[in-house]
Chains A and B, each alone.
Chain A
Amino acid sequence: MADIEGYPGSSMHGVTGREPVLAFSVASPMVPTDTTAKFDLPVDSEHKAKKFKIFSFANPHMRTFHLSWISFFTCFVSTFAAAPLVPIIRDNLNLTKSDIGNAGVASVSGSIFSRLVMGAVCDLVGPRYGCVFLIMLSAPTVFCMSFVSSAGGYLAVRFMIGFSLATFVSCQFWMSTMFNSKIIGLVNGTAAGWGNMGGGATQLIMPFLYDIIKRTGATPFTAWRIAFFIPGWLHVIMGILVITLGQDLPDGNLSTLQKKGDVAKDQFGKVFWNAVTNYRTWIFVLLYGYSMGVELSTDNVIAEYFYDRFDLNLHTAGIIAATFGMANLVARPFGGFASDYTAKRFGMRGRLWTVWILQTLGGAFCLLLGRSNSLPLAVTFMIIFSIGAQAACGATFGIIPFISRRSLGVISGMTGAGGNFGSGLTQLLFFTSSKYSTATGLTYMGIMIMACTLPVTLVHFPQWGSMFLPPTKDTVKGTEEHYYSSEYTEEEKAKGMHQNSLKFAENSRSERGNRVASAPTPPSSTPNHV
């Protein structure tokens, strides 16, 4: 059964999606295949794909997937392109440590707002135009790096480039129009992880380009400016590819999308209020700030750290820094997998412990990274830190769908914004002032990660319990149905607005873990292995 189209926040549906566990495809009895449609993949009645064939580029479903994640990847590349080149840029522009730190904060702050705006844009004109407009309007900002001659200019340009990270929203939204909601979880998780890899790839790409350009005879202070043209061209190329090869819907029909966008069956104000009054939302906003947030901060400082602390050349520092971001290829999906795996036996308690363990581990190794004086140890600790933090990101989004059904979109959006906010905060606190070195900054950040992960012990679901407490014994309050339908008032329930939530509640009984005895195994939580 399809979601209500145009439901506020539905643009963020599937961002998280733990709906089918580890599924690469949905079997036919569950979602009927439309046999009249002539697509490369089996599709449902809305012509959304039921199968996820990673290495195919067939139009429209898989082509959308690849266009979408590569656009997001490109924006990550350009947002963090300055980071590995900072040792050169700081000499060219005569930057102090606080100039560098502030520019790093600016690079992640813009997207807090642009991601929220992008949600509205996708609802209005569709994700394809949202993506194209953003990526091509931010191309000039990347080219602007060639004009920069002061700390203020550097900060302004990094701030403007940072807006492009909102392609995350268009990426996820676009795929929810192309893939059935039962496999959207894995599809979106893969796209998010592969896009985030751009933060790692850029640490390899930019020093490599800089080296080549220097070899052709350019002086260092000109070579880094020329290097920025490549991410700029990538923006333009991806924009043109998306607008020419992409299509909004499986059937290519734009006007239908516009019609659907007008239908709002719920009120944004109520949905938003429901999200902000749920304390669990805020705990996860904080947590994500210390998993995704520290990942973004580390993307900004790690290359310069290895260059300065261990006297490496730019190229080598870039390679090491790249392994941090590239771990996203497997680490983030692994986090989601670990969350699902523990949920099978221990239910929601398992998911909560998984997040706590992964994130605390990440924090501990961040601390050790700051303290290590030898290069091999530092690299080892960095890799374990990256796996911990990125897996924690994946595991966090294994829990988000269960916080609220009504406000899933808003909560996902707020959590995402919390990630960027955490990044800005940690860079401001630890990597901007000259009071302590970057090594000490990393150590303190590790301590703060471990401290800010502790609130997850407070997350309690009446029907499933928490990390330490069992579920409530109350027979009414201890049901999933009660939890999810209490998001609606009695009048709203009388109108039947909570019907979808009841369905979800039934499916979410899997979060009881092995204790599920009498309840029938809901079909959507049965893993469909390829």
Chain B
Amino acid sequence: MAAPGFIIAALVFSCLAANSCAVTFSSLPNNLIVSASTKQGQVLKAGEDKITITWSLNTSLPAGTDSSYHMVEVKLCYAPISQQDRAWRRTEDDLTRDKTCQHKIVTRPYSRSNNTFTWTVQKDVPTATYFIRAYVQNSHDEEVAYGQTTDSHKATNLFDVQAISGRHASLDIASVCFSAFSLVSLFGFFFMEKRKAKSSQQK
């Protein structure tokens, strides 16, 4: 049984050496307390409304837990209902392949408490239901802990964002104008040619 043991040891060693092992979400401790100014079911307008996020270390943890904590990255994440039938938002345990949190809010150096940020919901945020999650990274940019505004089932304290439509009156008008131009020139040229053909036939 030495062979499998050797293989495992080799894998672990290469992982530590290469630092390229995939971090899984299930391995991260929920050590941050994150809260946001949003209420359950509130609808925010993209480009207009703001969210204030505060985060701090859970004080009931033993001292030294945060010795490797370096940066905090706060992200906007899709709630399960907005992930249905949309595989491009799916949750995977392997964090390099996880697509739950696609919108970055802010990245800040880690500090134990007094962390606040007010974010205006950006214009490219789609219409969906969200929660907020903060990942703590060590100095090698690997996730080592997290905190989120919802529970472990991602069912409580969710809020909605209403996206901008992307439509503009000027675009609509331009669209109508060009369409009209297309139709007018089509029939214009057509009747001009018919008239020329008739007049040349009459000659």
Contact = CB atoms under 8 A, between A and B. Distances in A.
Contacts of B163: 91-92, 94, 221
A221 B124 CA distance: 7
Contacts of B186: 132-133, 136-137, 239, 243
Contacts, number: 109
Contacts of B84: 96, 434
Contact of A434 (B85, B182, B189, B190): B85
Contact of A146 (B85, B86, B172, B182): B172
A149 B84 CA distance: 20
B36 interface: no
Given A132-B186, A137-B186, A140-B183, A225 B123 contact: no
B190 to A, nearest CB: 7
A232 interface: yes
B166 A222 contact: yes
B128 to A, nearest CB: 7
A308 interface: yes
A420 B97 CA distance: 35
Interface centre among B88, B172, B197 (most CB of A within 10 A): B88
Contacts of B182: 136-137, 139-140, 235-236, 239
A147 interface: yes
A147 B166 contact: no
A236 B87 contact: no
B175 A147 contact: yes
Interface string B136-175: 0000000000000000000000000001111110011011
B181 interface: yes
B199 to A, nearest CB: 13
Contacts of A90: 86, 88
A96 B85 contact: yes
Nearest to A128: B193
Interface in A169-210: none
Contact of A308 (B87, B126, B166, B176): B87
B107 interface: no
Contacts of A221: 123-124, 163-166
A143 B197 contact: no
Nearest to B189: A243
A136 B175 CA distance: 14
Contacts of A236: 178, 181-182, 185
A97 B171 contact: no
Interface in A225-258: 225-226, 229, 232-233, 235-236, 239-240, 243-244, 254-255
Contact of B179 (A140, A240, A254): A140
A472 interface: no
Contacts of A149: 165, 167
A305 to B, nearest CB: 10
A220 interface: yes
B203 to A, nearest CB: 14
A225 B166 contact: yes
A457 interface: no
B171 A225 contact: yes
B179 A143 contact: yes
B171 A222 contact: yes
Contact of A94 (B124, B126, B179): B126
B189 A146 contact: no
Nearest to A87: B88
B127 interface: yes
A434 B193 CA distance: 53
B178 A96 contact: no
Contacts of A368: none
A240 B181 CA distance: 11
A98 B86 CA distance: 9
Contacts of A232: 178
Given A219-B123, A219-B124, A136 B183 contact: yes
B163 to A, nearest CB: 7
Contact of A98 (B85, B126, B171, B178): B85
Give the 8 A-B CB pairs with smallest separation, nearest first.
A221-B166, A140-B179, A91-B126, A96-B85, A139-B182, A136-B186, A143-B175, A219-B123
Given A139-B179, A221-B165, A235-B182, 7 more contacts: A136-B186, A140-B178, A147-B172, A220-B124, A221-B124, A226-B171, A244-B189
16 contacts: A90-B88, A96-B84, A97-B86, A137-B186, A144-B179, A147-B172, A219-B164, A222-B167, A225-B171, A229-B175, A232-B178, A233-B178, A239-B185, A240-B189, A243-B193, A255-B201
